[in-house]
Amino acid sequence: MITPPLPLPALAVDALVRAALAEDLGRAGDVTTDAIVGRAAHATAHLAARQAGVVAGLDLAEAAFRVLDPDVVVERACADGDRVAAGTTLATVRGRAHALLSAERTALNLVGHLSGVATATRRLVDLVAGTRARVVDTRKTTPGLRAAEKYAVRCGGGWNHRFGLDDAVLIKDNHLTVAGGITEAVRRVRAVAGHTVVVEVEVEDLAGVEEALACGVGALLLDNMPPDLLAEAVRLVDGRAVTEASGTITEATIAAVAASGVDLISVGWITHSAPALDVGLDVVVERPALD
Amino acid sequence: MITPPLPLPALAVDALVRAALAEDLGRAGDVTTDAIVGRAAHATAHLAARQAGVVAGLDLAEAAFRVLDPDVVVERACADGDRVAAGTTLATVRGRAHALLSAERTALNLVGHLSGVATATRRLVDLVAGTRARVVDTRKTTPGLRAAEKYAVRCGGGWNHRFGLDDAVLIKDNHLTVAGGITEAVRRVRAVAGHTVVVEVEVEDLAGVEEALACGVGALLLDNMPPDLLAEAVRLVDGRAVTEASGTITEATIAAVAASGVDLISVGWITHSAPALDVGLDVVVERPALD
Amino acid sequence: MITPPLPLPALAVDALVRAALAEDLGRAGDVTTDAIVGRAAHATAHLAARQAGVVAGLDLAEAAFRVLDPDVVVERACADGDRVAAGTTLATVRGRAHALLSAERTALNLVGHLSGVATATRRLVDLVAGTRARVVDTRKTTPGLRAAEKYAVRCGGGWNHRFGLDDAVLIKDNHLTVAGGITEAVRRVRAVAGHTVVVEVEVEDLAGVEEALACGVGALLLDNMPPDLLAEAVRLVDGRAVTEASGTITEATIAAVAASGVDLISVGWITHSAPALDVGLDVVVERPALD
Amino acid sequence: MITPPLPLPALAVDALVRAALAEDLGRAGDVTTDAIVGRAAHATAHLAARQAGVVAGLDLAEAAFRVLDPDVVVERACADGDRVAAGTTLATVRGRAHALLSAERTALNLVGHLSGVATATRRLVDLVAGTRARVVDTRKTTPGLRAAEKYAVRCGGGWNHRFGLDDAVLIKDNHLTVAGGITEAVRRVRAVAGHTVVVEVEVEDLAGVEEALACGVGALLLDNMPPDLLAEAVRLVDGRAVTEASGTITEATIAAVAASGVDLISVGWITHSAPALDVGLDVVVERPALD
Amino acid sequence: MITPPLPLPALAVDALVRAALAEDLGRAGDVTTDAIVGRAAHATAHLAARQAGVVAGLDLAEAAFRVLDPDVVVERACADGDRVAAGTTLATVRGRAHALLSAERTALNLVGHLSGVATATRRLVDLVAGTRARVVDTRKTTPGLRAAEKYAVRCGGGWNHRFGLDDAVLIKDNHLTVAGGITEAVRRVRAVAGHTVVVEVEVEDLAGVEEALACGVGALLLDNMPPDLLAEAVRLVDGRAVTEASGTITEATIAAVAASGVDLISVGWITHSAPALDVGLDVVVERPALD
Amino acid sequence: MITPPLPLPALAVDALVRAALAEDLGRAGDVTTDAIVGRAAHATAHLAARQAGVVAGLDLAEAAFRVLDPDVVVERACADGDRVAAGTTLATVRGRAHALLSAERTALNLVGHLSGVATATRRLVDLVAGTRARVVDTRKTTPGLRAAEKYAVRCGGGWNHRFGLDDAVLIKDNHLTVAGGITEAVRRVRAVAGHTVVVEVEVEDLAGVEEALACGVGALLLDNMPPDLLAEAVRLVDGRAVTEASGTITEATIAAVAASGVDLISVGWITHSAPALDVGLDVVVERPALD
C-alpha cells in the first residue's frame, strides 16, 4: 500500500484558483468565449497528459472549473502522484461549455506546472531507489506557490524541507560569519528557539561536522562535498544527526551522492526549474447541444 | 539606442514582493537570523549572476530588501534587460544585516525566476535575428506571475501577446467547433467586441487562412504548420493580417520557422518552463560592525 | 435575434456585492431588521422600475439577496438590456424576510446605478439609429465600478472603449507634446507595443489626420471638431482607420455628429453623470407568516 | 469662521486611491505613457475646474499622484468645500511626468465625482438658507464610495444621515408591517438597541406622528408629505423629536418643504444622481526637460 | 419571552472563521491529522462546556467545521445566551473526521473566548438585577474581535456602547482640555455631527453635570464617582440625559454603583480580561468506520 | 546579558495595527476628535503602566500612532520584556494631537492585551525559577493574534510551542484512537513528515511513555499526570525525549510540577485568559499650541 501524499489544504486550493482565474479573466472576462458560446451550452472535456510524467494538482484543476460552474461533474481517471503515459486521460469534466473554455488555461497552467515539479522529483527519486537517501526540496520555490510546489514534490515521492524561515532553523555560512563559529551560532539559537524547532547547520568540512555534532544539532547540511567526503562525514556522524547533501545535484550525479549514505539530498531545481508537464484539454462539443 | 522594456507597474512590484516575503516569513519570522544577528548590525551584499544570462527583476529584488529595511541603499551595476556574464555583480545592497539575510531568498527567487524567463527569451530572439519574426509569449504563465513574466519576456527582447482573456480575442479550435466555422465565429465576436479588441483566429490550413482574411481579422494563428506551409500562408496573407506561428517551437527549429516570413512566433515554454537563472547574494560581513 | 451583451464576469459580481453589503452592514449589522424581524420569517418581494428605462445589474441584485440567504428563489421577469416602462416588475424574490430587507438597499443601489447608465446610453444610441455611429464609453467611470459600468453601457446598446490604461494605446495631446509630434509618438509606441494593442491618436485638425494615417494607426480620436470638419476628416480617412468623435456630446448634438459618418462617438457622461434609474423593492409581507 | 467639514479618514483615502489606480493600470500599466515619456522627465500640472461648483476630494487627487511618485509636490490653491468659478485652479502638482499622466484620470474621476456631489448638495443648501432645514444624505450611495460621498455632502454644506444599517435605527414601512405597528416596532427595537443608537420612525400621517411621539422616538421620517401637512406635523411635534422630510425633493420644491419648519430634508439624488463636476488637468510640459 | 440577542452578521462570521482557520493551518495544513486520519473517515463530536457559564459563538464554531467539511451536520443542544452547567453538551457535530479534528482548536478558541465574555457579563448583569442599571461594554476590546465580543456581551445580557470612534460622540477629558470646557466642546461637535450621532460627555463633578445638561447632551459619563456622588448626579439629571457610571467596577462594587440609580454601568474588563470559558470537543471515533 | 525575545515580524506589526485602526475608525472616522481638535495642533503623550507587570507590544503601539501621523516621534523609556512598576512611563509620543487621540485606544488595546499575556507568563516563569522547567504556550490563543500572543509569551520569559497545525506533529488522544495506538500513529506520521517536523505524542501513563520512547519520538506530552507520576516518567525517559507536562496548571501547582524534572510545562491560560495589563495614555495638551 502506498501512502498518499499529505494534501494541499483546501483553503489554499481555493485561494490559489480564484487568484489565478481573476488574473486571466481581467476586468472584461473571456471576450472570445462569451461572444461565441451560449450560456446554456454544455460540453465534456478530457484533461489529458500529452507527455509521460507524474500528475499533481488535480484538485486545483477541478476547483478552477467549479468556480465558474458550481454544477460541474468531474470524474478522476487517476490521482495525484500517479505515473502516467503520454496520452493518459487524467479526468473527465462535464459542465457548461463556457466555464470549461474560460477555466481551461488556468486549470492547465496549474496542473502543468505542478506535474512538472512532481515529474522532475520522481525522476530523481527513482535514481536513488535502493539507497536510504530521500530527495528533499528547498525554499527555492516560485513566489506565491510554495505550499503548492511542496505538495507537488510530495506527489513525486520527494520530501519537504522547511516551508519557510519560521518553522525550522538553518544556520548558513553568513550566519556563521556573524556569530563567529558554529558553537556560538548554535548557542544563540538555542537561547531562543523552542523544542519544536529543529536546528540544522551548514558545514563545509569534517571539522565542522565534529563541532556541530558536539553542539547536538538535529541535522547537518553538507554543502558541496564530493561523494567520498560525504561518505566520510556520514561515517563520522554515525546516526547522531540527519545528514543532508546539497549543491549542484543533477540526474547524472545523484546516484553517487546517494551512495554516500546521506539521509537527504536537497535539490532546488525540482521547484524552480522543472519544465511544465504538457497537459491539455480536449473538449468534445456536440454542436446542437452546445449552442 | 535601445528602447528600455515597458516597466512592471510599481503597484504590482509592491504587491508581489510583500506577498512573497509574507509567504517565506510565516507566522514567526526568520528564527535563524533573528536569533543570531543583532538588530543594529549592518552589512553589504552583492547580488551576482552565477551563470551568464539576461537580467530581469531588479526592482523586485530591491523592493524585497527595502520592505524589511526602509533605509537600505542599493546601487545598480546593471539594468533589467542587460546580458551578463557569469560572475557579474548586478547590484550592491547596503543596510541592516538582518534585513539582507531575511529578504535574501525572496529577492533571489524573484530575480532568478524572471531572469530565467528573460534568458530563455533572449536565446530565441537571437536565433531569429535578421528576420522579421518577433518572439512572443502566451498565456501559459505561472499563476500569480503573469505580468511579471511578461515583463521578463520584454527584458529578453521578446514581445507580449495578450495579457488575459479580456484584452484581445483569440478564436481557437474549440470556439470554431461551437460556432460552426470561422466566418460565423468572427461574426459573433464582431457583434460584441469593441474597436480596441484585436481579433485573431487560429487556422490550420490555407483554406482557413483565406476564410479568415475574407472576414478581415487582424491576426492569424498558424498553428503547428511546417515551415514551407507557413511560407505559403505568409505569401497568401501578403501583409493583410499579422501572422503568428505556434506549436512546439524549439531552439533547433525556430530559425526555420522565422525564415518563413511570419511576423510572430509564440512560445509557451519561455514562461512555463524556463529554468531559473542562478543568482546569488554574497554578504560581506565585518564581524565587529555586524554584531 | 438580438445578441445579449457580454456578461459581467461572475467573480466580479461576487466581489462587488460582498463589498457593498459589508459597507452597508458595518460592524453591527442591520439593527432595525434584526430587532424587528424573526430569523425564520419569509417574504416575497418585487423588484420594480419606478421609471421607464433600460435594465442593468439584475445578477448583482440577485447575488445581494443570495449572499444573505443562500436559499432565496429569484424569478426574473425581464433581462438586462430590456427597455421597461415605469411600474414594470423586474424580478420576484422569495426568501427569508430579514435577508430581503437587509440586502434591499445594496441591491437597489447597484441596479439603480447601472440601469441609469444603461438608460442614458440607450437614449443616445436611439438618437444615432440609422447611422453607422456607435456610442462608446470612456475611462471616465466611477472608481471601483469600471467593469460594471462598462457592462451597463453594453446593456444600453453602447460599445466599450478600452477598459484601462493597459489594454490599448491612446496618444493624447500631452503625450504628443512630450514626443514632439504624432510621428515620433507613434514610433515610440510601436517600438514596444505588441500586436494585440490597438493604437489610437488624438488629432485636432486635418493635418493631424493625415500625419496619423501616414503612421498607419488603427483609430483616430477627432476631439472637439464641429460636424462639418468631422465629415471632412471622415472623407479623408476613407476607411483606413476607425474614426472616433468626442467632446461635449449631448442629446441635442449627437445626431449631427453621427451624420458626419464617424464610426464612434465617445461620451463620458453616460458613466460619470447618468442619473440613477429609480428602482424599488415592494415587499409583500404576510403577517402571520412573517413573524 | 466656517467650520471645515469632518475629514475623510486617511486610511480610507489610501485604500480608495490604490484600488482606483489598480483598476485603471490593469496588469500591464499605462502602455501609452510608459512608451512615450522617459522615467526621469518632470512636469507641472494644474488641476482646474472647468465648471463652477464646490470642490471635494483634493486629498484623494493628491494621494493618486503621490502613490505613483512619492516625491510629488502639491500646492493647494483652494480647499475642499470652496465654491469655485469655472477656470479656477484647484491645485498645482509638480513631479515625474509619467506619474502625473498615469494618475491623471484616477485623480480626475475621484475629484469630479465628489465635487459633483458637493455641488449638487450646495445648490440645495443655498435654496434653504434662512430656514432651520438642513439638507441630509441617505444610504442611496454608489457602492464602495459611501464614506467618500458622505464626505462630499459635508463639503457641500449638507449633513450626514446614518452611514449604514448598523449605526442608527430607521423603522420603515416594511418593518412596521412585520411588527404590526409603530408601538410594537419601537418596543422590539428598544429591547435590544443601546443608548448610542438613535431611533427614527417613518410615519405617513399625523396619527403616526402622535403614536411615534408617544413612544419617545428620537426622529420622525415624514415621508412624501405635502408642505402643509409637514407644517402641521412640525407643529404637532413641537420640538419633541427631530423632523425629517423626504420624498422626491427637487430644486423647485425644496424651499417650500423647508418653509414647513422641518429640521432635515433628506435627498437621495445628491449622492446617486449628481452629475460629475468637470475638472481637468493641464500639464505644462517643457520639452527638453520632459524627455 | 426572552428576546434573543442581535446576531453577529453572517459576513463577519465567515470572515472571522476563515482567518482563524488559515492562521492555524499555516502553509502545510494539519500534518498530524492528515497523516493519521483517512479522508473518507467520519466521526461524531460533542461540543461541551467543561465549566458552568453562558454560551456565545456557536455560529462561529459551526462555521469552522463547515468550512472544512461542507456536508457537516450540526445539531444544537442549546443556543447562544443560554446558561449552562459544567458538562453540558452545546452541540453535536457529525462529519468527516479529519475536518472535525483540524477545525477543533479554531472552533474551541472562538467559543471559549466569546463564552468567557458572555459569562463575565452575565455575572455582573445578575448582580444588578432589580435595579435600572444596564451593564454596557466599552471600546476596550481585543483587536480584530470587536463585533464578536460585543455580540458576546449581548449574549451575556449586557448592552453595547458605541462600536467605534465613528458611530457616537464621547467627549473625554483630553477633548475638554483642548476645547477649553464642556460648552465649547459640545458646540464644536454640534457644528458638525448629524442627528443620528448621540453626544455623550465625560464629567467629573456636579458642576460638569450641570454644564453638560445645559448643553442638552444625550448622555453623561460619570467617571470614577463614588456611589453617593453618583446618586446625587442622577438626582440632578432627573431623566434629562442617560447616565453612565464607569471606572474600576468590580463584582464587589457593582451593586452599590447600580443602587445609585444610574442607567448604565460600563465595564472594560468583560471584553479585555474575561477568562475563556473551558469548552471541549469529545470526538467519538468508531475505529472501523474511521479509518 | 539577557537575550532579547525573538521579535514579531514587521509585516505582522503593520497588518495588525492597520486592521485594528480600521476596526475602530469605521466608515466616518473619529467624529469626536475631528470635531474638536484642529488638524495642526500638536501634543505630547506618555504611555504609562497603571499596574506593575511585564511590557509587550511597544512596536505595535508606536505603529498605531505612526500610521495616523508619519512624523510622530516616539522615545522608548523601556523595552518589551521589561518588568515595570505601577506608574512607569513606557514611552513618550510627540506628534499631531488628533493622531494621538484617535490612535490612543488601538495602541492601548494592543499593549494592554500583550502585556497581560507577558505578565501572566512571567509570574509562572518566576515560580519555576531554579528548575529546568520552561513555561510554554499552546494553540489556545485569541483568533487573529497568535503570533502576537506568542511574542508576548517570549517577552514574559516563556517559550513557544508550535505556531500551528503545520509546523510540528502533536499526536493526541483522538489521533491515537483512530490509529489504534501509539506505534501505528507514529508510523503513519513518519511515513510522510519531513526531518524538520518534530513528533510529539500525548501519553497518559508509563506504558505509553515506554511505547512512545520505543518509537523514538522527539517529545512526550504527559497530560494531566500528578507530580509524582511525572517524576517517574521523567526518570523513565532519562533524556531520550523532551518531556512536557500539561493540564490545569495554576500558580499554586506549577512549582510542584516543575519539581518533577519535566522540561516543559505548557499552559493555555497565559494566552486565552490572561487579564489585560492596565496601560494608559496621559496626553499633555498645551492649549494655545493645540488648537
Question: Taking the mean position of all CA atoms in its chain, how far away is CA D194?
Answer: 27
The overall average pLDDT reported for chain E is: 95
Closest among A283, A274, A282, A281 to A124, alpha carbons compared: A274
Catalytic residue among A82, A137, A149, A202: A202
Distance from the F48 Cα atom to the nearest Cα atom in chain E, whole angstroms: 16
Q: DSSP 3-state assignment of E139?
A: coil
> Are E284 and E101 a contacting pair, CB within 8 Å?
no
How far is C278 from C109, CA to CA, in rounded Å?
A: 9
Give the rounded percent of residues in chain D with a pLDDT score beyond 90.
95
The overall average pLDDT reported for chain B is: 95
E223 is catalytic: yes
Distance from the B85 Cα atom to the nearest Cα atom in chain F, whole angstroms: 36
- Determine whether the interchain pair F27/C27 forms a contact, defined as Cβ–Cβ distance below 8 Å: no
- pLDDT of residue A3 exceeding 90, the answer is no
Query: What is the DSSP code string of E174-220?
Result: HHHHHHTSHHHHHHHHHTT--TTB-EEEEESSHHHHHHHHHTT-SEE
List, in order, residues 6 or more apart from A272 with CB less than 8 Å away. A140, A141, A142, B109, B112, B113, B116, B275, B276
Set of chain C residues whose Cβ sits within 8 Å of the Cβ of F27: 23, 26
pLDDT one-digit tens code per residue, A72-99? 999 999 999 999 999 999 999 999 999 9
Q: Which residues in A96-119 are b (16+ Cβ under 10 Å) and which e?
A: bbbbbbbbbbbbbbbbbbbbbbbb
Set of chain A residues whose Cβ sits within 8 Å of the Cβ of D23: 27
Q: How confident is the model at residue C248 (pLDDT cuts 50, 70, 90)?
A: confident
Nearest CA in chain B to A29: B166
Work out whether strand A73-76 and strand A89-96 pair parallel, antiparallel, or are unpaired. antiparallel
Probe site for chain C from A24, A25, A27 (most C CB atoms < 10 A) = A27
- Determine whether the interchain pair C161/B263 forms a contact, defined as Cβ–Cβ distance below 8 Å: no
Distance from the E23 Cα atom to the nearest Cα atom in chain B, whole angstroms: 8
pLDDT of residue C291: 44
Set of chain D residues whose Cβ sits within 8 Å of the Cβ of A23: 27
pLDDT of residue E291: 45
Distance from the C20 Cα atom to the nearest Cα atom in chain F, whole angstroms: 13
D-to-F residue pairs, Cβ atoms closer than 8 angstroms: 32
Distance from the B196 Cα atom to the nearest Cα atom in chain C, whole angstroms: 5
- Determine whether the interchain pair D28/B147 forms a contact, defined as Cβ–Cβ distance below 8 Å: yes
Residues of chain F with pLDDT under 50: 1, 289-291
Nearest CA in chain B to F12: B27
Q: How confident is the model at residue B4 (pLDDT cuts 50, 70, 90)?
A: confident
Set of chain D residues whose Cβ sits within 8 Å of the Cβ of F25: 9, 11
Residue range B77-103: average pLDDT? 97
Q: Which residues in D224-234 are b (16+ Cβ under 10 Å) and which e?
A: ebebebbbebb
Distance from the A211 Cα atom to the nearest Cα atom in chain B, whole angstroms: 17
- Cell 445578441: give the residue: C3
- Chains meeting D at 3+ CB pairs closer than 8 A? A, B, C, E, F
- Determine whether the interchain pair F6/B39 forms a contact, defined as Cβ–Cβ distance below 8 Å: no
- pLDDT of residue A162 exceeding 50, the answer is yes
pLDDT one-digit tens code per residue, D14-29? 999 999 999 999 999 9
Closest among E58, C290, B15, F96 to D27, alpha carbons compared: B15
Show the cell assigned to E154: 449581548
> What value, to the nearest 5°, has the Cα angle with vertex F235 and ends F233 and F238?
110
Residue range A266-291: average pLDDT? 85
pLDDT one-digit tens code per residue, E46-84? 999 999 999 999 999 999 999 999 999 999 999 999 999
- Determine whether the interchain pair E36/F185 forms a contact, defined as Cβ–Cβ distance below 8 Å: yes
pLDDT one-digit tens code per residue, C140-193? 999 999 999 999 999 999 999 999 999 999 999 999 999 999 999 999 999 999
Give the rounded percent of residues in chain E with a pLDDT score beyond 90.
95
Residue range E255-284: average pLDDT? 97
**ipTM for this prediction:** 0.96
How far is C152 from C167, CA to CA, in rounded Å?
A: 20
pLDDT of residue D146: 98
- pLDDT of residue D3 exceeding 80, the answer is no
Cα distances (angstroms) measured from residue C240 to each of B190, C259, C262, D117: 18, 19, 12, 42
Set of chain E residues whose Cβ sits within 8 Å of the Cβ of F291: 178-180
Cα distances (angstroms) measured from residue C204 to each of C224, C225, C237, E131: 8, 7, 14, 80
pLDDT of residue C2: 53
DSSP class of F58: H
Nearest CA in chain A to D28: A26
Q: Look at the alpha carbons of F128, F131, F134, F140 in this order and tell me if their dihedral is positive or negative.
A: negative
Phi, psi of F203 (to 5 degrees): -130, 155
List, in order, residues 6 or more apart from A15 with CB less than 8 Å away. none
Closest among B118, B138, B137 to B126, alpha carbons compared: B118
Residue D29 one-letter amino acid: G
pLDDT one-digit tens code per residue, A24-64? 999 999 999 999 999 989 999 999 999 999 999 999 999 99
E23 is catalytic: no
- Determine whether the interchain pair A195/F219 forms a contact, defined as Cβ–Cβ distance below 8 Å: yes
pLDDT of residue B249: 94
DSSP class of D159: B
> How far is the first Cα of chain A from the last one, in angstroms, to the nearest whole number?
47
- Helices marked H in chain F: 10-25, 31-36, 58-68, 97-127, 146-155, 173-179, 182-190, 206-214, 227-237, 254-259, 269-272, 287-290
Set of chain C residues whose Cβ sits within 8 Å of the Cβ of F26: 26-27
Which residues of A lie inside 8 Å of C (Cβ-Cβ)?
18, 21-22, 25-31, 34-35, 39, 67-68
E150 is catalytic: no
How far is E14 from B159, CA to CA, in rounded Å?
A: 43
Probe site for chain A from C6, C13, C76 (most A CB atoms < 10 A) = C6
Of the listed ranges B70-79, E30-39, F3-12, the least confidently predicted one is F3-12
Q: DSSP 3-state assignment of B20?
A: helix
Q: What share of chain D is helix, strand, coil (3-state, %, to 5)?
A: 45, 20, 40
pTM for the model: 0.97
For chain A, list the strands marked E by DSSP. Answer: 42-49, 53-54, 73-76, 83-84, 89-96, 134-136, 169-171, 199-203, 219-223, 242-246, 264-266, 279-284
Show the cell assigned to E197: 450621532
Query: Residue C75: beta bridge partners?
Result: C92
Give the rounded percent of residues in chain B with a pLDDT score beyond 90.
94
Nearest CA in chain C to F25: C27
Using a 10 angstrom Cβ sphere, with 0-12 exposed, 13-18 middle and 19 or more buried, the burial of residue A184 is middle
pLDDT one-digit tens code per residue, D106-148? 999 999 999 999 999 999 999 999 999 999 999 999 999 999 9
pLDDT one-digit tens code per residue, C36-49? 999 989 999 999 99
Q: How confident is the model at residue E175 (pLDDT cuts 50, 70, 90)?
A: very high
Q: How many CA atoms lie within 13 A of F146 on its CB side?
A: 26
pLDDT of residue C286: 61
pLDDT one-digit tens code per residue, E90-127? 999 999 999 999 999 999 999 999 999 999 999 999 99
How far is C70 from B260, CA to CA, in rounded Å?
A: 57
pLDDT one-digit tens code per residue, D204-216? 999 999 999 999 9
Query: What is the DSSP code string of F139-165?
Result: S---TT-HHHHHHHHHHTT-B---SST
Q: How confident is the model at residue C114 (pLDDT cuts 50, 70, 90)?
A: very high
Set of chain F residues whose Cβ sits within 8 Å of the Cβ of A244: 195
Q: How confident is the model at residue B2 (pLDDT cuts 50, 70, 90)?
A: low
Q: How confident is the model at residue B269 (pLDDT cuts 50, 70, 90)?
A: very high
- pLDDT of residue E286 exceeding 70, the answer is no
How far is F76 from F62, CA to CA, in rounded Å?
A: 9
- Chains meeting E at 3+ CB pairs closer than 8 A? A, B, C, D, F
pLDDT of residue D122: 98
The overall average pLDDT reported for chain C is: 95
Q: Of the candidates A8, A10, A150, which has its C-beta nearest E68's C-beta?
A: A10
